[in-house]
Amino acid sequence: MKKFRDYNKCINFLFGLERVGIKYSLNNIKVLLKYFGNPEKGITAIHIAGTNGKGSVASMINSILIEHGFKCGLYTSPHIFDFRERILVNRKFIEKEYILDCTNDLLNLIEKISPSFFEVTTAIAFKYFRDKKLDFAIVEAGLGGRLDSTNVLKPILTIITGISIDHTEYLGNTINKIAYEKSGIIKRNTPLILGKINNKVIPILVSTAKAKNANIVFSTKEHEIRITRRTEEGFYFNLINKNFKLTNVFLPLVGDFQKWNTLTSLSAINKLSDNYHVKIKEESIINGLKNIKYNSRFYGRFEKIKENPKIVIDVSHNLEGIKNIEKNLKYFTYDNLYIIFTMMSDKKYKNCIKELEKIDSKIIVTKSSNKRAIEPELLIENVKEKNKFIHSRNVREAFYLAKKFANKQDLILLTGSFYLISDFLKVLKNKYN
C-alpha cells in the first residue's frame, strides 16, 4: 500500500476504516499494540466508561491534574471539529506528522488484519502517550467496555459514570446487558468509582467488583454539594468531602447532570490522593473546573455560543441526553424556541422525537454530512404533531430557516449529534449566518 504524504488524505483513509455492524473483540487492537511495542503497558491510566457523562468526567479530571502541574494525556471520542481533538497532551493536539508517520508505519498491518477506525486510532493514541512520558493518561472508552479497544489497559483507577440504553445492536437491548458490558472495564485490585448509577444495575456492578476485589466508591454518597447560583454559562457551588472544602466554585457547563459528573470527578481526585499520594490542592480543583474548556478542549455541552438570538449547541446523541433538554432549557431566558435536530440512524430516534414533541418549540429536522445520519423523511414519519416540524435538506439550510424565524429574544438549539454540531460550526466559520 502506498504511503501517505498528505495529512488530509491520511485522515480520510482512517475514516474509511469506520464500519457499521462489525463484531467487536480485542484481537485487532492487541496485534496493533504489539507492533508498536505494547505502549499501553507504559501508561499510567484512568479508564472511564458510561453511557453518558464519560467525556465530561474525563475532561474534568484532565483539567484538574493539568492545573496541579501534571503532564496529562486525554483520549476522547468523537470529535466536533478536528480529528486531533481526540488525542491531547496538556491541552495540545497530537501533531499531524505523528499521525502520518504512525499510519504509514501501520499500512501493511492494516491491509493484513483490516482493523476498524477506532482500533487504529486507539493504538496511535497509546503510542503517543507512551512517547510523551506522561504522568497520567485519562482514557474514555469508545463503546461499551468489555470489548472496547481501550480495555487492554491496566489502569490505576476505573470509572463508570452512568448506564442507560444505547448502542443496543452492540451492547444488548436491556439495561442489565449493557451494565454487564460496561462492567468489563473493572480490573482486579483496582479501585472503581461509580457515578449516578441506575439502581437496577448496581447489583451487577457490585458483584463484578467484589469478584475482582475492586474497592467501590459511590461518588453520590461521598460529597455534600450545594448549588448556590446558576447562569446561562454554568453554575456556582459549594462542596465538602473528607479531603477538601470548596467554596464558590464555578463550572462553565449547564445541566443538572453536570453536578453528578462533578462529584464523580472529585471522587477520582480523592482516590488519587488516598491511594497514590497525589495530594491535589483545592486551588487546582477550582481552576481545573473553571478552565475545563481551555484545558480539555471541551465544548458543545449545552453551550451558548451566540446572542441575539441565543444559539446553544448540544452534542446529546441518545435518548437519555435528549430527555435532559427540557430541564436544561429552564436555565435560559427566551421568548420562542427553535430546535434543529438530527441523529444517527442507529440511535433510538423514534423515542427521541417523542421527547422533543413534549417541548414547546418549532423543530427543524435535517441531516448531517455523516454517512450514518438518518434521512429527515424518516424522522418526519414518526412525528405526531406535524405542524411543529419543518423538513430541511442539510444543516446550512436548517440554520437559514431558524434565523429567518427567530427574533433577537429567541433561542436556537442544535442537538442530536456530534456531527450536526460539527457541520454547524463549519457554517458559522464560513460566515453563512
pLDDT of residue 288 exceeding 60, the answer is yes
141 with 70, same domain: the answer is yes
User: Is the same domain home to 76 and 14?
Assistant: yes
269/390 same-domain check: no
Is residue 175 within a helix (H) or strand (E), and if so which, with residue range?
Answer: helix 175-182
Q: Are residues 248 and 317 in the same domain?
A: no
Same domain, 284 and 404: no
| pTM of the predicted structure, to 2 decimals | 0.94
**Cell numbers standing for residue 157:** 483507577
The CATH number for 352's domain is 3.90.190.20
Higher pLDDT, 272 or 429: 272
Q: Is residue 22 part of a domain?
A: yes
Task: Look at residues 296, 330, 355 and tell me which one is the last residue of a structural domain.
Answer: 296
How do residues 352-411 score in pLDDT, each as one tens digit?
A: 988 999 999 999 999 999 888 889 888 888 787 888 999 999 999 999 999 999 999 999
Domain of 396? Answer: 303-429
175 and 213 together in one domain: yes
- Which of these three, 280, 296, 312, is where a domain ends? 296
Contact indicator for 395, 340 with CB cutoff of 8 Å = yes
Q: Are 99 and 238 contained in the same domain?
A: yes
Instruction: Give yes or no for a contact between 183 and 151, defined as CB atoms under 8 angstroms apart.
Output: no
What residues are paired with 159 via a beta bridge? 48, 193
Whether 220 is in a domain gets the answer yes
Say whether both 253 and 354 belong to one domain. no
Specify if 207 maps to a domain: yes
Domain at 198, CATH number? 3.40.1190.10
Neighbouring C-beta atoms of residue 247, cutoff 10 Å: 12
Distance between CA 81 and CA 128 in Å, rounded?
21
Query: What percentage of residues in the chain have a pLDDT greater than 90?
Result: 78
Shared domain for 308 and 217, answered yes or no, is no
In angstroms, rounded to a whole number, what is the distance separating the alpha carbons of residues 138 and 152? Answer: 14
Q: Could you identify the residue written with the cell 485519562?
A: 138
Note whether residue 238 is domain-resident.
yes
Together in a domain, 239 and 373: no
pLDDT for residue 302 is more than 50: yes
- Residue 2 inside a domain? The answer is no
Both 235 and 320 in one domain: the answer is no
Distance CA 227, CA 236 (A): 6
User: How sure is the predictor about 432, in pLDDT bands with cuts at 50, 70 and 90?
Assistant: very low
Domain boundary among 262, 296, 330: 296
Q: DSSP labels for 100-139?
A: HHHHHHHHHHHHHH---HHHHHHHHHHHHHHHTT-SEEEE
Same domain, 273 and 399: no
Indicate the helix (H) or strand (E) that contains 399.
helix 395-405
- Judge whether 144 lies within some domain: yes
For 191-221, what is each residue's pLDDT tens digit?
A: 999 999 989 999 999 999 999 999 999 999 9
Domain tally, the chain: 2
Mention every residue, 6+ apart, whose C-beta is less than 8 A from residue 24: 143, 144, 147, 148, 170
